[in-house]
Structure 1
Amino acid sequence: MRFLRAVLSAVVATLPVLVVLLIPAFVRGDSSPVSFIGIGGTLLNAAFIAAVILIPRVNGWLDPEVPDWTSTTAMATTARVWRKRLWLALLAVLALLAVFAAGQTAAYFVARSVPAVVDGAFVYARFLAPELVVYAVGYVLSAATYVLLIRVLARKAAD
């Protein structure tokens, strides 16, 4: 149950990422005559960094554990983990990056097998498949992994 609430927290925290991913001009240079891929990449990075920073608060709101993990104390608890257990917190970030890379790789293979541009025409349904894979595995699952590891580290730091 905790995993499902962590995934739900990650979905809520990464909704701005999904909005950017669903606009082809922000993520593909060949989708329309006007490309905003530079702006889209910057928005994706900023939205994901904000999601990683804010996911403990969202998770504390959706899955509270009194007194150490509520929406008001989760950020302070996360900061305490980063101060007291820096190397383990960095390993949590490394796990986030590994899952994120797996999502990017899976989306690459989906995009190679189902190209979005067919006979010179852009097909949005084919564009959507790899974007949803990268969102579900790359962004949501990596953020859920991070918040679950930080929660475990917070529990160990309190002991």
Structure 2
Amino acid sequence: MRFLRAVLSAAAATLPVLVLLLIPQLVHGGAGSPGLAALGGPWLNGLFLAAIILIPKINGALDPQVPDWTSSTAMASTTRVWRTRIWLAILAALALLAVFAAGQTAAYFVGVASPAIVDGELIYSRFLVQELVVYVFGYVLSLAVYTVIVRALVRPEPDPKRRKR
């Protein structure tokens, strides 16, 4: 159930990415002017980076675990993970990149099997399939995996009353 909520959180965080992916001129150089396609790449990267940063807050709202993982405390908990358990947090980021690369690769093979541009004409249905594969298996799944791992790494805040002096 927690993974399903992480997937829903990732889908909510990456909705702007989906909107951008559905505009062929911004993501496919052969579908329009190359200048627009050159703008689409940085926009996609920026929106995905924003989604990576904001996913704890969104997941905290959709799947709270009091007190360490709510909408208001999830960002601080994630920061604490990155400060105290850096190597495990880096492994979570590498897992995100690995799943993202696998999604990109799957979309590449879909594109090779069924190209979106045939005889200089864009076939939007084929384009849509490629972009949905990228979105679901690249962006959403990678962010869900990252969220689940980071969430598992969050330790409760130590109680200051219980500290030994």
**TM-score bin, normalised by smaller chain:** over 0.9
Contact 1:107 1:131 in 2 (8 A): yes
SS of 2:29's equivalent in the other structure is coil
Q: TM-score, normalised by structure 2?
A: 0.92
Which structure would you say has the larger Rg?
2
Does 1:119 pair with 2:107? no
In 1: Cα distance, 2:90 partner to 2:33 partner: 41
- The alignment covers a number of residue pairs equal to 158
Q: CA deviation at 1:158?
A: 4.7
| Matched residue type, 1:123 | I
What's 1:80 paired with?
A: 80
Does 1:90 pair with 2:90? yes
In 2: Cα distance, 1:53 partner to 1:154 partner: 16
What's 1:110 paired with?
A: 110
What's 1:145 paired with?
A: 145
In 1: Cα distance, 2:120 partner to 2:44 partner: 27
What are the equivalent positions in structure 2 for 1:3-152 lying under 5 Å apart?
Answer: 3-33=3-33, 35-152=35-152
Contact 1:92 1:149 in 2 (8 A): yes
Contact 1:25 1:35 in 2 (8 A): no
SS of 2:31's equivalent in the other structure is coil
Structure 1 runs of 4+ aligned residues shifted over 2 Å read 32-35
SS of 1:60's equivalent in the other structure is helix
Query: Once the two structures are aligned, what percentage of the paired residues are identical?
Result: 64
In 1: Cα distance, 2:10 partner to 2:134 partner: 14
| Matched residue type, 2:108 | Y
In 1: Cα distance, 2:123 partner to 2:92 partner: 38
Contact 1:28 1:35 in 2 (8 A): no
| Matched residue type, 1:102 | A
Ranges in structure 2 where 5+ consecutive residues have no aligned partner:
159-165
Q: CA deviation at 1:35?
A: 4.4
In 2: Cα distance, 1:66 partner to 1:10 partner: 20
Q: TM-score, normalised by structure 1?
A: 0.96
What's 2:162 paired with?
A: none
In 2: Cα distance, 1:59 partner to 1:34 partner: 36
Ranges in structure 1 where 5+ consecutive residues have no aligned partner:
none
Over aligned residues, Cα RMSD in angstroms? 1.3
Q: Deviations over 1:51-96 (max 9, x none)?
A: 0000000000000000000000000000000010001000000000
